[in-house]
Structure 1
Amino acid sequence: MSGANRETVREVETPGGPGRVHVHRPPNPRGTVVLGHGAGGGLGAIDLAIAREVLVGAGWAVALVEQPWLVAGRRVAGRPPTLDAAWVPIVEALVTGRGRLPRPLVVGGRSAGARVACRTAGPLEADAGLLLSFPLHLPARPEKLRADELALAPDPSWVVQGAADAFGTPTELREHLAPGTTLIEVPGGHSFPKGSRSALTAAVTQVAGMLPG
């Protein structure tokens, strides 16, 4: 139907097996946002769902990526190098070749997906980042920092972080943000409850108004 958003699902071969991408494309998109899921769940997380709703409504094509381990039905995510090796060809397949989605390219995701997006942003020449619940460290292990990964986030990037996130509070993250990264604090922990919908919607709406493109 003319003027309607199109939703498609496609599989992309990767070194770790096929990944699955759910593409939500409005008419004449301003650019593309590619988001990955966390290590403990799929695409049903409330922050991913809200990001898709808000960004598609703002005119962006949004691609939600299921890593090969999840597509294969495994319960445990692979090691970071295997996640990166799958993510890169999936994103490249979306923005190159026939039927490609338009740039600018925004990469991100929640938790482990945000880490993957940071580590691979350089090779993918990403234009911006959207990081949801970035896991700066494991719970009760603040000495095991992933600040080096956060430093690889594209410029500009936005981090939407729960005020009580056991994987890194907004106060902890502020010490490690690159100059081009903006932190938006919302109520909640690492996984957001349904009651966080309003705050998450406001946060992603704020980001949508600042994205390049």
Structure 2
Amino acid sequence: MGAVRSFEIDTPRGPARVQVVDPAGPPVSLLVLGHGAGGDVDAPDITAVRDVAVAGGVRVVLVTQPYRVAGRRAPAPAGHLDEAWTAVVGEVRDQALPLILGGRSSGARVACRTASALGAAGVLALAFPLHPPGKPDRSRADELPATLPTLVVNGDRDPFGVPEPVGAVEVAVRPGAVHDLRRDLPGTAEIVAGWLRRHRWAR
């Protein structure tokens, strides 16, 4: 692992916190990851993906949304999340590197909703919350960017449901895992690493 830098970026919704983790050599791509609704960027699945991506030559940027920086646990409205995220990505992106947007749960939804407009090459969705628990009729499947290479990693016991693969969306179902994806983190990280390598976004 190379240098680690932390700083804040002003957004229309207040300051967001950013941590940039560089690989040991020149980066081959840029992966920007957001956290879940009430969580942080140090969630176990985000940490596992960060480590395996950096080891594969990926520059990883971890984004803490303004409402979390301000100390609130209740998430901001979707439009506010997307607006802050878009501002951050605009500041950290490197036009010379393929851009992969991702996150877990709420952060995965933000990445999916903004990927096309931000010119992302791909999307990584950890624990994509297909619907609120117990309400399968309120599907969010239309947020998945069917025309962009997208990897969804969900547990088969996730109360938020598991999306179906459609178009360019691949779905990796983790046996015995719930929404936190803590079960077999090395296996989850390796699935992500393989997907990144397959698209030549990692060594």
TM-score class normalised by the smaller sequence: over 0.9
**Distance in 2, Cα, partners of 1:203 & 1:130:** 11
CA contact (8 A) 1:128 1:212 kept: no
Percent identity between the two aligned chains:
40
RMSD of Structure 2 on Structure 1 (CA): 1.5
Note the C-alpha offset of 1:201.
2.4
Q: Secondary structure at the match of 2:33?
A: strand
1:110-125 alignment runs, 5 A limit? 110-125=104-119
Residues 151-207 of structure 1: CA distance to partner in whole angstroms, max 9, x if unpaired?
x256111111111111013xxx11xx33111111113011123x4223212222222
Q: Please tell me the residue identity of whatever aligns with 2:115.
A: A
Structure 1 CA distance, aligned partners of 2:78 and 2:92?
A: 21
**C-alpha spacing 1:36/1:102, structure 2 compared with 1 (3 Å):** farther
The match for 2:185 is 197
Q: TM-score, normalised by structure 2?
A: 0.93
Alignment partner of 1:103 is 2:97: yes
Whichever residue aligns with residue 86 of structure 1, its letter is A
1:143 aligns with 2:143: no
Q: Report the more deviating stretch, 203-212 or 103-112.
A: 203-212
Matched, 1:61 2:56: no
Give the distance between the partners of 2:74 and 2:147, measured in 1 at CA: 28
1:30-60 C-alpha deviation (Å, 9 max, x unpaired)? 0100010000211121110011000000000
Gaps of 5+ in 2: none
Alignment check: 8 A CA contact 2:127 2:181 kept: no
- For residues 61 and 101 of structure 1, the distance between their equivalents in structure 2, rounded to whole angstroms, comes to 13
- Give the count of matched residue pairs: 199
CA distance 1:101–1:73, shift in 2 (3 Å): farther
Superposition pairs for residues 120-199 of structure 1, below 5 Å?
Answer: 120-150=114-144, 152=145, 155-169=148-162, 173-174=163-164, 177-187=165-175, 188-193=177-182, 195-199=183-187
The alignment partner of 1:107 has SS state of strand
Q: For 1:179 and 1:63, locate their aligned partners in 2 and report how far apart those are by CA, in whole Å.
A: 27
| Alpha-carbon distance in 2 for matches of 1:57, 1:154 | 28
Contact 1:20 1:66 in 2 (8 A): yes
Superposition TM-score, scaled by structure 1 size: 0.89
